[in-house]
Amino acid sequence: MISWCPFPLEVSTDLGLGYVLYTVNNQQFENNEWCVVLKETGEIKHFLSSQIKVATNFTYSIKKQ
């Protein structure tokens, strides 16, 4: 099932920072596929849950390092 991100969620990847477009639930509890637009280049890349982490989210007090 595809879930669209209703707000800009900034994530950190090995390729740099980006924003989540949508997620695809491949399995019940893990290994979701995340579609991310990279800020630096505008490229659209797909990552697994283990390959990204939230970069900034003020609701949960997550700030850039």
Query: 8 vs 14, which has greater pLDDT?
Result: 14
Which residue in the block uniquely carries the two structure tokens 């491949």? Answer: 26
Would you say domain 2-60 falls under CATH 2.30.30?
Answer: yes
Provide the residue ranges of all domains of the chain, joining segments of one domain with +.
2-60
pLDDT band of residue 20 (cuts 50, 70, 90) is very high
pLDDT at 21 over 70: yes
CA angle 3, 35, 23 (to 5 degrees): 20
pLDDT at 6: 81
Distances (CA, A) of 1 to 6, 32, 58, 59, 65: 15, 10, 27, 26, 32
**What is the average pLDDT across 38-65?**
84
- Taking 70 as the threshold, does the pLDDT of residue 18 lie above it? yes
Evaluate if pTM is beyond 0.95: no
- What per-residue confidence (pLDDT) applies to 48? 92
